[in-house]
Structure 1
Amino acid sequence: MDYQAYFQSKKDAHLKELGELLTIPSISALSEHKADVLKAAEWVADSLRRAGMENVEVHPTAGHPVVTAEHLHAPGKPTVLVYGHYDVQPVDPLHLWETPPFEPSIRDNKLYARGATDDKGQMFLHVKAVEAILEQEKELPVNIKFCIEGEEEVTSPNLPPFLESHQDQLAADVILISDTALLEPGKPAICIGLRGLCALEVSVHTANTDLHSGTFGGGVPNALHALVSLLATLHDEQGRVAVDGFYKGVHELTPEIREEFAKQQFNEDHLKQTLALEDLYGEEGYSFVERTGARPTLELNGVYGGFQGEGTKTVLPKEAHAKITCRLVGDQDPQDIIDKIEKHLRENLQKGATLQVKATEKARAFTIEPADPMLQKAADAYERVYGTRALFTKDGGSIPIVETLSRVLSAPAVMMGFGLPDENLHAPNEHFNLENFDKGLLTIVEYLKSL
Structure 2
Amino acid sequence: MKKQLQNTLLLLLYLSGNLVFAQTDWDAKIKQELPKILEKHRELVSIPNVASDEANMMKNVDWVTKAFKELDFEVSILKTSTLPVFLAEKQVNPKAKTILFYLHLDGQAVNPQKWNQKDPFRPVLKEQDDDGVWQIINWSRIKTYIDPDWRVFGRAAADDKAPIIMMLSALEFLQKEQQKLQYNVKIILDLQEETRSKGFLSTLETYKNKYAADYMIIMDGPAHPTNKPTLTFGCRGIATINISIYGAKLPQHSGHYGNYAPNPVFSMSHLLASMKDETGKVVIDGFYDGITLDTETQKLLAQVPDDNVQIQKSLGISKPDNVGKTYQEALQYPSLNVRHIETSWKGPGLKTIIPEIVTAYLDVRLVKETNGKAQLDKVKKHIESQGYLVLNRKPIDSERSKHTKIATITTNAGVSAFRTDINSFIGKKLRTTISNAFGNDPIMIRTMGGTVPITPAIQVLDIPAIIVPMVNMDNNQHNPNENIRIGNITQGIKICLAILSMKL
Q: After TM superposition, is the score higher than 0.5?
A: yes
1:42 aligned to which of 49, 62, 65: 62
Partner of 1:86: 105
Query: Structure 1 CA distance, aligned partners of 2:81 and 2:199?
Result: 7
Which segment is superposed worse, 159-168 or 308-317? 308-317
Superposed counterparts of 1:90-105, under 5 Å: 90-92=109-111, 94-98=113-117, 100-105=119-124
Please report how far the alpha carbon of residue 286 of structure 1 lies from its aligned counterpart in structure 2 after TM superposition: 2.9
User: TM-score, with normalisation over the residues of structure 2?
Assistant: 0.82
1:435 aligned to which of 468, 480, 487: 487
Which segment is superposed worse, 266-275 or 171-180? 266-275
Which segment is superposed worse, 111-120 or 134-143? 134-143
Does 2:27 match 1:4? yes
Any unmatched runs of 5+ in structure 1?
none
Does 2:194 match 1:153? yes
Query: Structure 1 CA distance, aligned partners of 2:333 and 2:369?
Result: 12
- State the SS of the aligned residue for 1:337: helix
- State the SS of the aligned residue for 2:177: helix
Please report how far the alpha carbon of residue 224 of structure 1 lies from its aligned counterpart in structure 2 after TM superposition: 1.0
Query: Structure 1 CA distance, aligned partners of 2:374 and 2:295?
Result: 29
Query: Structure 2 CA distance, aligned partners of 1:264 and 1:3?
Result: 27
Please report how far the alpha carbon of residue 119 of structure 1 lies from its aligned counterpart in structure 2 after TM superposition: 0.8
Query: Structure 2 CA distance, aligned partners of 1:429 and 1:449?
Result: 34
Show CA shifts across 1:163-192 (max 9, x none).
222121221121122113221345222111
- State the SS of the aligned residue for 2:202: helix
2:262 aligned to which of 206, 221, 244: 221
Q: Which has the larger radius of gyration?
A: 2
2:463 aligned to which of 394, 402, 411: 411
1:334 aligned to which of 364, 372, 378: 372
Query: Structure 1 CA distance, aligned partners of 2:409 and 2:58?
Result: 36
User: TM-score, with normalisation over the residues of structure 1?
Assistant: 0.91
2:451 aligned to which of 398, 408, 432: 398
2:157 aligned to which of 116, 119, 122: 116
Partner of 1:444: 496
Partner of 1:423: 475
Please report how far the alpha carbon of residue 47 of structure 1 lies from its aligned counterpart in structure 2 after TM superposition: 1.9
Partner of 2:87: 68
Please report how far the alpha carbon of residue 42 of structure 1 lies from its aligned counterpart in structure 2 after TM superposition: 2.8
Does 2:214 match 1:173? yes
Maintained 8 Å contact 2:219/2:467:
yes
Please report how far the alpha carbon of residue 385 of structure 1 lies from its aligned counterpart in structure 2 after TM superposition: 3.7
Superposed CA RMSD in Å reads 2.3
Please report how far the alpha carbon of residue 309 of structure 1 lies from its aligned counterpart in structure 2 after TM superposition: 8.1
Amino acid of the structure 2 residue aligned with 1:303:
I
Which segment is superposed worse, 58-67 or 71-80? 71-80
Show CA shifts across 1:382-409 (max 9, x none).
33343321121121111131x3233222
Maintained 8 Å contact 1:419/1:436:
yes
Query: Structure 2 CA distance, aligned partners of 1:40 and 1:366?
Result: 30
Count of residues in correspondence between the two structures: 443
Please report how far the alpha carbon of residue 159 of structure 1 lies from its aligned counterpart in structure 2 after TM superposition: 1.9
Any unmatched runs of 5+ in structure 2?
1-23, 128-149, 389-402
Partner of 1:188: 229
Show CA shifts across 1:242-275 (max 9, x none).
3333334x43112112112212242222223223
Cα gap change, 1:128/1:421 in structure 2, threshold over 3 Å: closer, same or farther? Answer: same
Show CA shifts across 1:273-309 (max 9, x none).
22332222232x5322211x21110001111226688
Please report how far the alpha carbon of residue 414 of structure 1 lies from its aligned counterpart in structure 2 after TM superposition: 2.2
1:127 aligned to which of 154, 159, 168: 168
- State the SS of the aligned residue for 1:165: coil
Partner of 1:259: 299
Partner of 1:242: 283
Amino acid of the structure 2 residue aligned with 1:212:
H
Amino acid of the structure 2 residue aligned with 1:26:
N
Partner of 1:25: 48
Show CA shifts across 1:330-354 (max 9, x none).
2322233223323332442565343
1:382 aligned to which of 420, 427, 434: 434
- State the SS of the aligned residue for 2:428: helix
1:366 aligned to which of 391, 401, 418: 418
- State the SS of the aligned residue for 1:43: helix
Cα gap change, 1:433/1:252 in structure 2, threshold over 3 Å: closer, same or farther? Answer: same
Maintained 8 Å contact 2:216/2:466:
yes
Cα gap change, 1:228/1:101 in structure 2, threshold over 3 Å: closer, same or farther? Answer: same
Amino acid of the structure 2 residue aligned with 1:296:
P
Show CA shifts across 1:406-433 (max 9, x none).
3222222121111121111111111111
Cα gap change, 1:99/1:294 in structure 2, threshold over 3 Å: closer, same or farther? Answer: farther
Please report how far the alpha carbon of residue 311 of structure 1 lies from its aligned counterpart in structure 2 after TM superposition: 8.3
Query: Structure 2 CA distance, aligned partners of 1:445 and 1:310?
Result: 55
Query: Structure 2 CA distance, aligned partners of 1:346 and 1:27?
Result: 43
Please report how far the alpha carbon of residue 24 of structure 1 lies from its aligned counterpart in structure 2 after TM superposition: 1.8
Please report how far the alpha carbon of residue 65 of structure 1 lies from its aligned counterpart in structure 2 after TM superposition: 1.5
Query: Structure 2 CA distance, aligned partners of 1:76 and 1:447?
Result: 19
Query: Structure 1 CA distance, aligned partners of 2:88 and 2:220?
Result: 19
Query: Structure 2 CA distance, aligned partners of 1:257 and 1:334?
Result: 23
Query: Structure 2 CA distance, aligned partners of 1:22 and 1:318?
Result: 48
Query: Structure 2 CA distance, aligned partners of 1:262 and 1:138?
Result: 38
Maintained 8 Å contact 1:296/1:327:
yes
Please report how far the alpha carbon of residue 92 of structure 1 lies from its aligned counterpart in structure 2 after TM superposition: 2.9
Maintained 8 Å contact 1:198/1:334:
yes
